[in-house]
Every structure is written in C-alpha cells, then in structure tokens.
Structure 1
Amino acid sequence: MNSRMFLYNVSIIIEDSVHQSLFDWIKQELLSNAHPNLKLLKMLYSPHEGQTYCLQIMLEDEEAIESIKNGIIQDLQEHIVVNFREKAFIFDSVMQYIPHQ
C-alpha cells in the first residue's frame, strides 16, 4: 500500500422520519454514477438519534479528495439543504493510513 493513502469519510445523520427517502436518493442518484471504490456503510449502535450512514473511499492524494468533495459530496449537501433542512446533516473527516511495518 502506498504510504500516502487516505481514507475520506462522510458521515450522514438522518432523522428517522426522512431516513428512507434520503437513503433511497443516495443509492439511486448519488451512488449510481459514483467512483467505483466509494462504499456506503450503516453505522450500528450509533450514539446519535435517527440513522447514521457513512460514505467512505480510499484515495491516493488530497487532490482526489477535493475532487470527491466538489462533486458527489457537494451534490449530497445541496440535496440535504433543499429537501431535509434540519432533519439531516453531514460531516467529513480525512484520515491517513500509517504503515505499521
């Protein structure tokens, strides 16, 4: 593995009342043409009310992260603002893999 690999994570916290609608949109609209390495995960035993999902992708450089942010993550953010204001929110994090050998 490249020593400069990054994991980009976007957590999505959704109120139960709109959960299914946003989840369906993510699967149909966001992931249908997304980067093939982008994964959707559901957080089990979340400390938050509602449902928590994560979009995660492993990338080789910070420019690729910015490209994802300016593409599908911006689309997600805009969709949430228009359709789910105050019922869903997202936050992101970037982690760098640390070689252990």
Structure 2
Amino acid sequence: MILYNTTFVVEDSVHEEWLPWFKEEHLKDYLNTNCFLGARLGKITSHEEPGFKSYSLQLFVNDDLTLEQFRNNFLDGIQQKSLQKFATKVLTFASEMEHLGDFN
C-alpha cells in the first residue's frame, strides 16, 4: 500500500473558513475519485510558524498505477478548486510513502 501525503500550510487569515470547507467539501473531492481506500487528516503541531496552521492529509492507495491515474486525471482539478477559493493563502506539497506495516 502507498500513503499519498499532502501537507497544507494555511494562513491564519483564512483558517476559520478553510478547515470546515476542507473537511465538509474538499476532502470529498479526493475520496470521490475512487482512487483511495481511505484518508486520515491531522494537524501538524511541531514546526509551527507564526501566522500559519499546517495539516497533513494521508490518503491510502493500493498501487502505483492507481496513484498515477489520480495524478493524471484528478489532481489538477482538485488543486485548481483550492486555488480559486483561497489563492496562495493555502500552500501544499505532496509526498509518497510505501506503507511497511502497522504496529501496536
């Protein structure tokens, strides 16, 4: 399994609007692609920068082919939606990780 992680850096000036919008609307844009098995959202509490809040969205995908289909067919539209609503007040960067296991 692959973890597709997107970090969102949100200016305080739009944070109160962004977070509910993200949880109620934008997250569905990712999940409705049917590319992902599920998602996890977390607030990043280390490395805080004054004037910003940071979040990590982890999406679970079975294989590289499905992730490539997501990037080719859906990612640009999802990113454009956020840019149209919040411009550069929300910045993102993505990373991919191979899931090696869960441990208790």
Report deviation, 1:15.
0.4
Q: Which runs of 5+ in 2 are unaligned?
A: none
Distance of 2:54 and 2:28 partners within structure 1: 20
Paired residue secondary structure (2:68) = helix
Report deviation, 1:32.
4.0
Counting aligned pairs with the same residue, the percent is: 29
Paired residue secondary structure (1:65) = helix
More helix by share: 2
- Across the two proteins, how many residue pairs are aligned to each other? 94
Report deviation, 1:75.
4.3
Report deviation, 1:36.
5.5
- Report the TM-score, using the length of structure 1 for normalisation: 0.74
Distance of 2:57 and 2:83 partners within structure 1: 18
- Report the TM-score, using the length of structure 2 for normalisation: 0.73
What residue in structure 1 maps to residue 61 of structure 2?
59
Distance of 1:67 and 1:24 partners within structure 2: 28
